[in-house]
Structure 1
Amino acid sequence: MKFRFIQNAILLLMVALCHSAYSQKKKYNVLFIAIDNLRPQLGCYGFSNVKSPNIDKVASEGVVFEKAYCQQALCSPSRTSLLTGLNPDVTGIITIGPHFRDSLPNIVTLPQHFKNNGYFTQGFGKIFHGGLDDPRSWSVPHDQGKNPRYAPEGQAIIETKRQEKIKQGLDLTLRENRVFGPPVESYDAADNYFLDGGNTENALKALAKIKDSTFFLAVGFSNPHIPYISPKKYWDLYDRSQIKLPDNQYAPEGAPAWALQSLDELNGYHNVPKPLTDDFKRELIHGYLAATSYVDAQIGLLIDGLKKNGVYENTVIVIFGDHGYQLGQHGMWSNKHTNYETSARVTLIVKTPETKAKGQKSASIVQFVDLYPTLSDIVGLPKPAQGHGQSFKPLLTNPKKKLNTYAFSQYLKGGYYGYSVTDGRYRLVQWKKGNETVLELYDHTSDPDENKNVAGNPALKAVVASLTAQINQRIENDKKDRKILGHTSQAFNSEK
């Protein structure tokens, strides 16, 4: 009897140990890679002219989302929305500032949710918008990086301009007095000379220290945001003579003037010709592509770091661009700031240890607000307490499954509150200012580049009505959620 008792005890202990090992195995790490202004213009998205072998390799082991959308095409609102799981009208962040905790102090962010559930969370580079970091999200202070953004020539140009403005008595802390260097720069230097390479190096050092923890490691890259800066070897990957300019360098027919953005992001940069010449436009595209390949190389180093430290097989990898981007489409250069497909559609690639649909693409609509619940679902954390998204984990097994019916984005322009919705075929943009309403409708079946507004077509009246109802319902739901979450900005609440 005593022997049987001991035998049963040993059996129970073995079961417990196996269960413990299994549970430990299921605690996946997360490598969270944020890339500024990265268009879905990579090899894995069908652009063979773009040199992105490392991102493409991750895509071959994960799922590429072809219909992924941000909630606003501007860095801070988009990142705040993604990292809180809330729409911009609920966070109150529809411009670069203020900080979301000024109005929603108790919101739990995505990395904070992981930290609260036992993960070691650490961030490098641009995760939240620069200057608007969130200390509560990290186990140790976030590291923005100290390496230069510019090469020595660009740094010298900036310093000369700074001294000139100081002599004029201008306050350089004000946004309107910011000093810029050249919009494009290539320099014969090692990868870690520049900011993005330095952040990669620091992230790899941290990885070696935290590899035995369960970690959420976030690495943000500033390229390919303008200025497009890269070591010369990435510049040399591209032949300028083979770079083609977009065909639709004109405003969509029937679009309101305020829906477009001019040279806003190029303003202030050194030696920008006005009007832009075709040679300069090709230079911008060349710089953007080189900067993209530079970031791709850094991602390759991060993947190698996971493998070297023995954690690759147990790590979820997420790669995303924080919003879309225009490189000449509709005449907009180095820009986002619209409600069009080129601004709202984003790069999103997810690879997990359990991904069954390896190397496949999903045309199911997903939104950035879905990423928070999805990552929680993948690693087995509790469902987030707040959020407007739903988990798209099922798409990693069956990418053909339909998830969302609609994706929403928004942008305030010219005093008009603009909201857009897509159902995968149509994109409707609704502009409101007081009692005035202006509509844009684009049919991607016949007009994938959104070159003609067909909102006035009588045959599409039912489509307009249906999509308008979706936008208005979204606006009303956000109003209710602001009240539920106790949004404290009275000015924002009264405006909206």
Structure 2
Amino acid sequence: MNYFLCFSFLVVTSLFSIPIREKPTQAQNAPDKPNVLFIAVDDLRPELGCYGKTAVISPNIDRLASQGTLFNRAYCQIPVCGASRASLLTGLRPNRNRFLNYKTWADKDAPEAVTLPQHFKNNGYYTVSNGKIFHYQDDKLESWSELPWRARDPSNDWRNYVTEAAQQIAIDHGNGKGPAFEQADVPDTAYFDGKIAAKTIADLKRLKEQDQPFFLAVGFLKPHLPFNAPSRYWDLYNPQNLPEASNPFPPESAPDAAIHNFGELRNYAGIPPEGALNESMAKLMVHGYHACISYTDAQIGKLLDTLEELDLADNTIVVLWGDHGWNLEEHGLWCKHCNFETSLRAPLLIKAPGLPAGQRTEALTEFVDIYPTLCELSNLAQPQQLEGTSLVPLLSQPNTSGKEYVFSKYHEGFTVKNDRYRYTEWSKDDGEVYARMLYDHQQDSLENVNIVDLPENKEIVKGLQQQLRKMYQEDFMK
């Protein structure tokens, strides 16, 4: 079936009956159906000024934090983009057979699930997808009122680069990936995120004139590799003043299962196939990551400015999230793909009409909580499929205690965190455990010493292991 015919068919067939929970109470002073600006940022860890990272230049995301609520302990369900996005957008957790890696299709793993944008569409919203929202552009097409738009052609990775030299390296490299970084004296729109911002600004102007609320999803690509951004964002930083990981080594007594070879980075030209990066390359990677944060921050600022200029700010919910964390040589690692705090903790900011501004909460929260939160803020009933809990109580009273436990997984590693500890275990399909880790975040916030085998921690491990089995019952029943 033709792509456009397929989209039309799915749009028509998407309007079916959905099991729903009780309709929520409308937030005080909030519009009945607020607009939603849903901002996803690829590979963004909490490396932002509003998260206390003073070396980072992120004034626009910091501005958003001052207008809403910052969730300081928000965790993704799985630290890889395709699976994390499928989980968040369906409100379902990963398990041994669902949402496994970056190649995840929500269509295939959860065909009956009603996605977050689809639920809004079925309730009278006009839904638009710009940039990277689902990993695959044509995943869950019934979610959108028009075809998802992207600035890039995914079949030509060399188009990530604007200089002829870097493009040629990408072509010669064979896999379309050239250097792991690029800086060029070009306008913001020379790279993809600038194009995404320009398209979104045009859409905001268009959608303002429509006689229905909108759900506008915007997926920025940076700071995902390659670290490509206009040179003026690189020039914001003196690389000698950027922070370096204080623990560029595997944790003491960490199992082999916890460590990987950061193959994602090694795909790029100029990166050695194994071993640690040399000092100059490591500094360059940190510099590039920060430059890309500032580049994307500038694009987000343009969207926030447009909301103000169009008088949309007071009736629009703005949500910003990074799909997972990222390692900047902590534990000797780069990229994500692991069960450490650096890969699992990610930014989450929510600004909602009628709710207080400039708040911060330390409550434990999860990305599966975003779907029910937006339903409640928009006065929509929640589909029965949802496995998260609305964060609206925390938006009203940020000092309220959140969840006692949050859960994530990556491949065969299942992990649970409570207020003090993170426990992770790796097991085969039959449930047999072959590796474990325990970190005391009160004493060891950087996770440098695995204390799972200390006799005094036996009961702690037992209790956390029970919570894992309670959450992932079907995965441990064999």
TM-score by length of 2: 0.88
Instruction: Name the structure 2 match of 1:341.
Output: 341
In 2, Cα distance between the equivalents of 1:226 and 1:185? 10
Q: Does 1:430 align with 2:425?
A: yes
Deviations 1:93-145 (A, max 9, x none): 20223422224322100000000000000010010013553211100000021
Q: Which of the residues 199, 202, 207 maps onto 1:205?
A: 202
Q: Is the 8 A contact 2:104 2:135 kept in 1?
A: no
Instruction: Name the structure 1 match of 2:354.
Output: 354
Which structure has the greater CA radius of gyration? 1
In 2, Cα distance between the equivalents of 1:69 and 1:92? 18
In 2, Cα distance between the equivalents of 1:318 and 1:54? 13
Deviations 1:213-240 (A, max 9, x none): 3000000011001101111111100001
Q: Is the 8 A contact 1:323 1:344 kept in 2?
A: yes
Deviation at 1:25, TM superposition (A): 3.2
Gaps of 5+ in 1: 1-21, 163-177, 481-495
Distance 1:479 1:65, change over 3 A: same
Letter in 2 for 1:382: A
Deviation at 1:159, TM superposition (A): 2.6
After TM superposition, the structure 1 = structure 2 runs for residues 87-106 of structure 1, keeping only pairs within 5 Å, are 87-89=93-95, 92-106=98-112
Secondary structure of 2:285's aligned partner: helix
The 10-residue stretch of structure 1 (304-313 or 134-143) with the greater mean CA deviation from structure 2: 304-313
Deviation at 1:161, TM superposition (A): 3.4
Deviations 1:221-276 (A, max 9, x none): 11001101111111100001212321101111111112111231111211124641
Secondary structure of 2:244's aligned partner: coil
Q: Is the 8 A contact 2:55 2:243 kept in 1?
A: no
Q: Does 1:420 align with 2:426?
A: no
Q: Is the 8 A contact 1:376 1:384 kept in 2?
A: no
In 2, Cα distance between the equivalents of 1:96 and 1:293? 25
Deviations 1:282-329 (A, max 9, x none): 100000000000000000001111112221111000011000110100
In 2, Cα distance between the equivalents of 1:360 and 1:352? 12
In 2, Cα distance between the equivalents of 1:293 and 1:24? 32
Q: Is the 8 A contact 1:363 1:400 kept in 2?
A: yes
In 1, Cα distance between the equivalents of 2:55 and 2:355? 28
Identity of aligned residues (%): 41
Letter in 1 for 2:161: Y
Deviation at 1:424, TM superposition (A): 2.0
The 10-residue stretch of structure 1 (97-106 or 123-132) with the greater mean CA deviation from structure 2: 97-106
Q: How many residues align?
A: 439
In 2, Cα distance between the equivalents of 1:474 and 1:117? 31
In 1, Cα distance between the equivalents of 2:246 and 2:30? 53
Instruction: Name the structure 2 match of 1:157.
Output: 169
Task: Name the structure where helix makes up a greater proportion of residues.
Answer: 1
After TM superposition, the structure 1 = structure 2 runs for residues 7-86 of structure 1, keeping only pairs within 5 Å, are 25-86=31-92
Q: Does 1:474 align with 2:475?
A: no
Instruction: Name the structure 1 match of 2:123.
Output: 117
Instruction: Name the structure 1 match of 2:9.
Output: none
Secondary structure of 1:123's aligned partner: strand
Deviations 1:45-70 (A, max 9, x none): 00111000000001001111011000
Deviations 1:353-391 (A, max 9, x none): 1222x2121000110000000000011011123111010
Instruction: Name the structure 2 match of 1:139.
Output: 145
Secondary structure of 2:224's aligned partner: coil
In 2, Cα distance between the equivalents of 1:475 and 1:408? 9
Deviation at 1:479, TM superposition (A): 8.2
Q: Is the 8 A contact 1:429 1:440 kept in 2?
A: yes
Secondary structure of 1:421's aligned partner: strand
In 1, Cα distance between the equivalents of 2:97 and 2:255? 28
Distance 1:24 1:323, change over 3 A: closer
Instruction: Name the structure 2 match of 1:371.
Output: 370
Q: Is the 8 A contact 1:252 1:330 kept in 2?
A: yes
In 1, Cα distance between the equivalents of 2:345 and 2:382? 26
Letter in 1 for 2:256: A
In 2, Cα distance between the equivalents of 1:103 and 1:61? 36
In 1, Cα distance between the equivalents of 2:271 and 2:435? 34
Over the aligned positions, Cα root-mean-square deviation in angstroms equals 1.9
Instruction: Name the structure 1 match of 2:21.
Output: none
In 2, Cα distance between the equivalents of 1:341 and 1:460? 20
Gaps of 5+ in 2: 1-27, 154-158
Instruction: Name the structure 2 match of 1:173.
Output: none
Instruction: Name the structure 1 match of 2:238.
Output: 239
Secondary structure of 1:364's aligned partner: strand
Instruction: Name the structure 1 match of 2:295.
Output: 294
Secondary structure of 2:298's aligned partner: helix
Deviation at 1:156, TM superposition (A): 2.4
